[in-house]
Structure 1
Amino acid sequence: MKAYQQGWTLRRRVVALLGVVLVLLLGLAAAEATLAAKNRQNIDAVLLKTGPLRVQAQELMSALLDQETAVRGYAVNADRKDLEPYQVGVDRERDTFAEMRKLAVDYPEVLRALDVVEQRAAQWRSGVAEPVISTTERSGPSAGRALITDQTRQQFDGIRSAVDGLQGEILEVRQKTADKVKATSNVLVVLLIIAALVVAVAGAVLLLSLDRILIRPLAGLVGQVREVASGDYRHRIEGSGPPEFRLLADDIDIMRQKIARELDEVREARERIEWVNSQLQKQAEELTRSNRDLEQFAYVASHDLQEPLRKVASFCQLLQRRYSGQLDERADQYIAFAVDGAQRMQRLINDLLAFSRIGRLTTGFTEVDLNKVMGDVAGQTEAARQYADAELTWDRLPVIRGEEPLLTNLLANLVSNSIKFRRPDVPPKVHVSARLVDDEWEISCRDNGIGIEPEFADKIFVIFQRLHSKDAYPGTGIGLAIVKKIVEYHGGRVWVDTEAAEGTTIRFTLPALPEDVEAARAAEQAAVEESTGDPETTGDGAEDVAVSVARQPDGAGREETPEGAARDGTTGGMKETVG
């Protein structure tokens, strides 16, 4: 891959631009923050200092006027009550001076003017007010009035002029502060305008830069990619603009080359597949011809081969009956071998025909009641059960979709095997049960026979596979292979339960009807709701509910046995007994 070392990357350019803008905005923000703080201080000075100072100056003048008026009134009437405003005015003057000094601590001109007013007020009280009061008290009102002259009035006018000067100083300070507020406000506006201009210029520069270094190269790259996407996989993709785009173009071109190679491989694979398909078509045609030949063979085996085989068996049996004991012992043995071989050959041909016809000669799926099927199975196996003193029982079984003849053959093979492979001196007991597992019925055929070792559990379903000699247990070894093929034809599976404590338990599954699945789920939910908190009803409830949805059997040839054979965890069994 190429390494693009020259030129700034898109990230670096954007970061640089944003960094410059950020520095400018931060500087403007700092300046605005400083000016805003000063502006706030000036506004506070106008609102919280100069304004209250003006009010306090008026309050001070009012206190001095009260004092002057009280002194004049006392000099006229010599009534001590007239001096009360004088004392109140003195207290107000003292408090007002204290408040104004606190407010004017940052204004020395106002403090100097305030000192002048305070000095003149003190001089007036010591030179005019106090002498008039003391003279009036000693010599009477006429003596007190004599001390109030034009000169004393001019002295109080001096206080007035000092207060006016104080007001002037306060107004001047207030005006200066207001001018500062106006100036800082104007500067703040200018800074905001500058910030807006910086943002606008930065945005314009960013848009122009993105158009030149991002949008145009990207549009060119998109155009080239579309050409490749339209089918021109040989078109080389070249990038422009920032290094990232050129690297991206190289990566896309590598991907294009890989796709082009894979497309070549796909074309080659398609050609090979077409060739294979043609071979498969030929093989399918050959298989069709082979199936026709097999069907023809089945027809010949069922008719043409069995006829001479029956003759051979019949004449061998005739020889055995007519000439038994007339020839030597070896001849009798040879004739017995021939009869047995012919009979076994006939059974083998019949079983092979039955195995080959499964799924090929079909009558179509219908709803089959397995309870009725078990009644048929009981009738078919009656002779064997009577001979072995066997007991066949079954629980209520479901209704499923399938072919009744095949299902009858399936269960008949399982029951026959259970009766055949019995333990010596132990009457066989065969029990068939069913339970709903998810959306399938799991059907079990359990016996008390010789059992199957776990290592042979899979071999018993292989055609012609035998675990015992034909002398110990007769048969062709194809029965369980037929069982497996019938189960798989119906969409299920079959296996041996290797955890069975006694005998053999063969289990197989068949798809359940949708209404049975829904009914089981509804019944299970109801059972859970009813048994909440009851430990005796929460153990095997699901299994009981699963069996309870099986449809009621016909009962033909069977009788209800509430406490019959082993139930395999289910309820409501049926029992077929030998008379």
Structure 2
Amino acid sequence: MRAYGQGWTLRRRVLALLGVVLVLLLGLAAAEAAVAARNRQNIDAVLLRTGPLQVQAQELMSALLDQETAVRGYAVNGNRNDLAPYQGGLQREQDTVASMEKLAADYPDVLRALRVVEQRAEQWRRSVAEPVIATIERSGPAAGQALITDQTRQHFDGIRGSVDTLQGEILTVRKQTAAKVNQTGNVLVVLLIGAALVVAVAGAVMLLSLDRILIRPLAALVEQVRAVADGDYQHHIEGSGPPEFRRLADDIDGMRQKIARELAEVREARERIEWVNSQLQKQAEELTRSNRDLEQFAYVASHDLQEPLRKVASFCQLLQRRYAGQLDERADQYIAFAVDGAQRMQRLINDLLAFSRIGRLTTGFTEVDLNKVMGDVAGQTEAARQYSDAELTWAELPVIRGEEPLLTNLLANLVSNSIKFRRPDVPPRVHVSARLVGDEWEISCRDNGIGIEPEFADKIFVIFQRLHSKDAYPGTGIGLAIVKKIVEYHGGRVWVDTGADEGTEIRFTLPALPEDVEAAAEQRAAEDQENSDAEAEAAGDSAAPGVPEQPADRASMADRPDGAAGRDTTGGMKETVG
């Protein structure tokens, strides 16, 4: 195990950088929030306090002027109604002063100037307004006018000056607050620029760091892996950068080494397999050549043996006909043995010749109706069936691709065997049927004959293999071998059904046409749908009170007599031949 240094991992580096950036941004955000709150307070002071203070200062001056004008008017006319503006101005003054005190609570200079205005106004009322009003009420307007002098006018001018001073203080406060607004705004802009710089610097640092500690090591690792993927399995993969990348590179290199070892083993195994395949190919070619030579030999031998054997048989028969009874009994027996041997030899040669021709002399595959083939078989075996009182039946058989002469020979051999190997005093019954299993037709030939013991089920398909003596059952023992060769030539297989209750049942398969497979699939789907509908209807009927249960219209697959999962075509007999 390689020891890695104590350097920071990629995760730790990224988290550290993100942590620093986050702390800086949070600090800037807090400062910006504080400055923004201060700026909002200054703006509120400008808009909601200093501005209204200026308006109310003017309103205060207006209220004082109304009082002074009302006193002068009352001194001229002596009409009591002229004092109404004085009382209204006094009330407005009091309301305005109360409102200004609230707005100027944080401005002591403004409050002091407001107090001065209020004091001088009070002094003017005590020293001027109230004495004039009292004098007019006692002595008339002339006496009151005498009290209004230049000195009283200067006294009110002092009030004007104090109001101007108040407005100046308010303006000064407003300017100071506006300056604070500008200052906090500038600070806020500076903080925003600082935050942008932090983000920009952090982004640049992140990109440079990723390029140095992530992209470059990863690109180098990718190049090395690509070199291995291109076939250089001996290329050592070296990692760089953070510890994770170095560990990843070591893991990939371990995988490379394992793949290299396995590829070496596969290469060695493939070389051995290729050598074995070459040997098998040679053996297959040798076997094919040997089989071809054997077939050619069997054909030539059987064909060449025909002429001398025909002469031997002919002369033996001539001896039998001409000298029968003229020689002693033993000579007649010898001649009979020679004639019988020559005839058996001729049948063996003919059967061997027919066996060697299967698959060698071909007419090509066509669509063959096995029902028509069974009609031809019935005609060929008619004499044997009449002799043994046999009954031949078959169900609806399919159409398959094959060679019609060979298929006729196949079924004729099966039917002939069933008739030949019959039980004494029991008329033979032979039945041929078919059913679709997957994508193959499974065809069976069942009889009520003597049957076959299970231990001999495989031997009967061996050429010239006999289970009985030729005296008990005549024949050469090549019929089922021909059957097996024809079935395998058509891409099927043949076997004996050892579970038959009576007689013998030989089954073989032939590839089905695609349209038959599709039709069977559609039929099964339709039957499944009908069964599900029937079950649902039966369930509904059983749930209804007072409704008797109805019998099923069709049997399930398990109740079929053949017990097969495939589609059986034995629904009706096509033909019965007795």
TM-score (norm 1): 0.64
Task: Tell me, yes or no, if structure 1 residue 186 matches structure 2 residue 186.
Answer: yes
Decide which moves more: 280-289 or 109-118: 109-118
What is the distance in 2 between the residues matched to 1:234 and 1:462?
61
Question: Is 1:22 the equivalent of 2:12?
Answer: no
Letter in 1 for 2:188: L
- Tell me the equivalent position of 1:558: none
Q: Structure 1 CA distance, aligned partners of 2:308 and 2:367?
A: 41
Q: Give 1:416 shift.
A: 6.1
Deviations 1:210-239 (A, max 9, x none): 555555555665666666667665555545
Report the secondary structure of 1:40's partner residue: helix
Partners of 1:143 and 1:419 in 2: CA distance: 170
| Structure 1 Cα separation of the partners of residues 458 and 102 of structure 2 | 114
Distance 1:408 1:49, change over 3 A: farther
Secondary structure of the residue aligned to 2:461 is: coil
SS across alignment from 2:3: coil
1:175 and 2:199 are equivalent in the alignment: no
Counterpart check, 1:390 vs 2:391: yes
How far apart are 1:31 and its partner, in Å? Answer: 2.4
* Aligned position for 1:287: 287
Map of 1:321-340 to 2, 5 A cutoff?
none
User: Deviations 1:276-295 (Å, cap 9, x if unpaired)?
Assistant: 35433532442243123221
Residue 454 of structure 2 is aligned to residue 463 of structure 1:
no
Unaligned runs of 5+ in 2: 538-551, 557-565
Deviations 1:523-556 (A, max 9, x none): 999x79x999975999999x9xxxxxxxxxxxxx
Paired residues of 1:395 and 1:434 also in contact (CA < 8 A): no
Q: Which amino acid aligns with 1:430?
A: H
Per-residue deviation, residues 83-140 of structure 1 (Å, max 9, x unmatched): 59976x7887777667666655555555666666677778888998899999999999
Q: Which amino acid aligns with 1:174?
A: R
- Counterpart in 1 of 2:513? 512
Q: Distance in 2 between matches of 1:189 and 1:451?
A: 113
Equivalent position of 1:577 in the other structure: 576
> Is residue 491–residue 511 contact of structure 1 (8 Å, CA) maintained in 2?
no
Contact 2:493 2:509 in 1 (8 A): yes
**Per the alignment, do residues 536 and 209 of structure 1 end up closer, same or farther by CA in structure 2, a change over 3 Å counting?**
closer
1: distance between equivalents of 2:394 and 2:106? 115
Q: Structure 2: which amino acid aligns with 1:397?
A: P
Partner of 1:37: 37
Identity across matched positions, percent = 70
Give the number of aligned pairs.
Answer: 543
Q: Distance in 2 between matches of 1:79 and 1:418?
A: 155
- Partner Cα separation in structure 2 for residue 466 and residue 91 of structure 1: 146
| Equivalent pair of 1:238/1:246 in contact (CA under 8 Å) | yes
Deviation at 1:508, TM superposition (A): 3.6
Match of 2:431 in 1: 430
**Contact 2:36–2:184 (8 Å) recurs in 1:** yes
Are the counterparts in 2 of residues 236 and 253 from structure 1 also a CA contact under 8 Å? yes
> Which whole-Å CA distance do the structure 2 matches of 1:309 and 1:473 have between them?
24
Which secondary structure state, in structure 2, belongs to the residue aligned with residue 19 of structure 1?
helix
Q: Is the 8 A contact 1:461 1:480 kept in 2?
A: no
Contact persistence 1:393–1:431 (CA under 8 A): yes
Matches of 1:300 and 1:104 in 2, distance apart? 137
Return the letter of the residue paired with 2:292: R
Alignment of structure 1 residues 512-531 onto 2, 5 Å = 512-513=513-514
SS of match in other structure, 1:577: strand
Matches of residues 213-362 of structure 1 in structure 2 within 5 Å?
213-214=213-214, 236-258=236-258, 260-262=260-262, 264-265=264-265, 268-269=268-269, 271-273=271-273, 275-300=275-300, 302-304=302-304, 358-362=358-362
Contact 2:434 2:443 in 1 (8 A): yes
The one-letter code sitting in structure 1 at the alignment partner of 2:3 is A
Asked if the contact 1:445–1:505 (Cα under 8 Å) also holds between the matched residues in 2, the reply is: yes
- Cα distance in 1, alignment partners of residues 47 and 367 from structure 2: 99
Cα displacement string for residues 170-214 of structure 1 (whole angstroms, at most 9, x for unaligned residues): 444433333233222222322333333334444444444455555
Matches within 5 A, 1:119-134: none
RMSD: 6.3
- Measured against aligned partners, the alpha-carbon deviations of 1:222-281 in whole angstroms (never above 9, x if no partner) come to 666666667665555545544444444544554554455455545544554554354335
> Is this contact kept in 2: 1:366–1:402, CA < 8 A?
yes
Q: Deviations over 1:23-63 (max 9, x none)?
A: 33333233223323333343344444444554555566666
